[in-house]
Amino acid sequence: MTNVATYLDYNAGAPARPAVVDAVVAALAIGGNPSSVHRAGRLARRAIEDARETVAETVGAEASEVIFTSGGTEANNLALLGAVRRGLAARLIVSAIEHDSIRAAAEGAGVPVALVPVDRDGVVDLDALDRLLADGQGPALVSVMLANNETGVIQPVAEVARIARGHGALVHSDAVQALGKGAVDFSALDVDMMTVSAHKIGGPAGVGALVKRAGIDLLPLSLGGGQDYGRRPGTENLAGIAGFAAAAKCLGGDADVTALRDRLEREVLAQVPGTRIFGAGAARVGNTACIGLSNVKAETQVMALDLAGVLVGAGSACSSGKVRPSPVLTAMGESEAVARSAIRVSLGWASVAGDVDRFLAAYIEFAGRALQARAAVVQKESNHG
C-alpha cells in the first residue's frame, strides 16, 4: 500500500516490514506443530521460544511472562475476563478513553464497572481513580492504556499502578499504541499485566501478547489443549509469532518521526483556519496527530484525502469502517460535532518528509475548498434571511 499511496494510518495498522515478511515465510517453511515431539515440532517450538525471548526483552519482561494471543483484542479480553472469572477481581475500573476491546470486555464481565474520567487534554484523572478505588467494595482490577490510539496522549501508568497498589488492586495497561513509540517497560511500569500487538509495529495482524506477572493465575478464555503452558489453548500461530518477533527486533533501528509530526501540525495550524490539535497540551507519543477541522465531517476529510492519494484515519478506525463521533474526544469534553470532525494522522517506520509534504498539499487544498463552500452557504443563508 505504501508504494501506491502516502500511508499515514500507522495507528490502524503499520505496513509489514521486509524483515517480517522474510521471517513469516521462513516460519511457514518449518511447517511443524510446536507440540509434536519429532524434529519438525522441535524446530517450531524453538522458533516460538526464541520469539518469546525477543518480545519479552523488547518490553522489559521475562520470557515466562509472555502469553501469545491472536492480537491486542484477545490479550485485553484475557486480562479482564480471565481475572474476573478466576475470582481475582470483583469490580473493574477502566479509563474513559480505553479501546473498545477493553470497554466491551469490561461491560461483558458481569461485575460492576467504573470509568475514570480524563481532563481536557485526555489525561486520566488520578484523584478520581483514587476515589473510585476507595469507594467500591471488593478486589479491583484497574485498566489504563499507556498511549491513546486517537490522540497519542501518554497516560501516567506508573502513577496509576502506585495508586492501585495502595488499595490492593491489580493493574493492567494496554500498551498497543505505545510499543515502538517510546519506552515500554513492563517491570518499570510495575503493572501486573500489559497488552501488545504485532500489526501496530510492522508485524502481521492477528498476533499479539499479554504480558503477565507469574503470580497472576488467569482463567483461559477458551478450553482445549495445554499450549502456552496451559494459559492459552490452541496450536500456536508460529508464522505470526515469528513475524511479531522480527518486527520487535527492528524497533531500535527506527528513525524518530516526532519532528515530522510536529512540522505537520505546525503547518496545519498556520495555514488552515479553524483547525485544532487534540491532546497537544499533554505528553504524547511522537507519531500521532489528531486534527479537528470545524464543521467538516471526518469521513468527508478522509475520502477527499484518499482521492488525493493520502491515507489517514477517522474516529476509531480499528472498529469496522464505521465512523462515529470519537468517544475519546467526547470523554475529553468536546461536543459531538467537534468529535465528528477529527482525523488521525499517524506516522511510522517507513514515513519520510515527502509523506508530510504530500499530506499538507492535499489537506490544505481540500480544507481551502471546504471552507470556501461553507462560506458560500453562510452567505446564501444570510442573503435569504
Cα–Cα distance for residue pair 326/339, rounded to 1 Å? 5
First-to-last C-alpha distance (Å) of the chain: 49
Considering the complex, state which of residue 244 and residue 359 has its C-beta at the smaller distance from ligand PLP. Answer: 244
Q: Does residue 73 bind ligand PLP (CB under 6 A)?
A: yes
**b/e per residue 132-156 (b: at least 16 CB within 10 A):** bbeebeeebbbbbbbbbbbbbbbbb
Q: Does residue 334 bind ligand PLP (CB under 6 A)?
A: no
Q: Does residue 245 bind ligand PLP (CB under 6 A)?
A: no
Q: Does residue 72 bind ligand PLP (CB under 6 A)?
A: yes
Nearest residue by C-beta to ligand PLP? Answer: 72
Cα–Cα distance for residue pair 228/208, rounded to 1 Å? 13
Residues between 130 and 159 with contacts to ligand PLP, criterion CB under 6 A: 145, 149
Cα–Cα distance for residue pair 245/198, rounded to 1 Å? 8
Angle CA 23–52–25, to nearest 5: 15
Q: Does residue 240 bind ligand PLP (CB under 6 A)?
A: no
Considering the complex, state which of residue 318 and residue 338 has its C-beta at the smaller distance from ligand PLP. Answer: 318
Q: Does residue 176 bind ligand PLP (CB under 6 A)?
A: yes
Of the candidate residues 82, 122, 208, 279, the single one contacting ligand PLP (CB under 6 A): 208
Please state the φ and ψ torsions of residue 120, each to the nearest 5 degrees. -65, -20
Active site residue 290: no
Strands 91-95 and 113-116: parallel
Considering the complex, state which of residue 79 and residue 291 has its C-beta at the smaller distance from ligand PLP. Answer: 79
Considering the complex, state which of residue 272 and residue 347 has its C-beta at the smaller distance from ligand PLP. Answer: 347
Of the candidate residues 34, 71, 240, 243, the single one contacting ligand PLP (CB under 6 A): 71
Q: Does residue 318 bind ligand PLP (CB under 6 A)?
A: yes
Residue range at the interface with ligand PLP (CB under 6 A); choices 60-68, 169-177, 280-288, 338-346: 169-177
Q: Which helix (H) or strand (E) holds 239?
A: helix 238-250
Catalytic residue among 157, 248, 296, 318: 318
Question: Least Å distance between CB 161 and ligand PLP?
Answer: 18
Q: Would you state the cell numbers that stand for residue 270, as one nine-digit string?
A: 498556520
Considering the complex, state which of residue 173 and residue 275 has its C-beta at the smaller distance from ligand PLP. Answer: 173
> Under DSSP, is residue 155 helix (H, G, I), strand (E, B) or coil?
coil
Q: Does residue 279 bind ligand PLP (CB under 6 A)?
A: no
Q: Cα 28 to chain center, whole Å?
A: 27
Angle CA 207–197–117, to nearest 5: 140
Considering the complex, state which of residue 78 and residue 304 has its C-beta at the smaller distance from ligand PLP. Answer: 78
Using CB under 6 A as the binding criterion, the count of chain residues that bind ligand PLP stands at 15
Residue range at the interface with ligand PLP (CB under 6 A); choices 36-44, 68-76, 80-88, 222-230: 68-76
Of 299, 296, 258, 257, nearest to 276 by C-alpha is 296
Question: Least Å distance between CB 197 and ligand PLP?
Answer: 3
Considering the complex, state which of residue 339 and residue 362 has its C-beta at the smaller distance from ligand PLP. Answer: 339
Q: Does residue 101 bind ligand PLP (CB under 6 A)?
A: yes
Q: Cα 49 to chain center, whole Å?
A: 25
Residue range at the interface with ligand PLP (CB under 6 A); choices 72-80, 119-127, 181-189, 329-337: 72-80
Q: Does residue 197 bind ligand PLP (CB under 6 A)?
A: yes
Of the candidate residues 9, 65, 174, 265, the single one contacting ligand PLP (CB under 6 A): 174
DSSP-derived secondary structure letter, 185: -
Residue range at the interface with ligand PLP (CB under 6 A); choices 37-45, 70-78, 339-347, 377-385: 70-78
Cα–Cα distance for residue pair 9/6, rounded to 1 Å? 9
Cα–Cα distance for residue pair 179/200, rounded to 1 Å? 8
Place of cell 515478511: 21
Q: Cα 244 to chain center, whole Å?
A: 15
Confirm if 82 and 220 have CB atoms less than 8 A apart.
Answer: yes
Task: Give the residue numbers marked as catalytic.
Answer: 318
Q: Which spans of this chain sit near ligand PLP (rule: CB under 6 A)? A: 71-73, 76, 99, 101, 145, 149, 174, 176-177, 197, 199, 208, 318
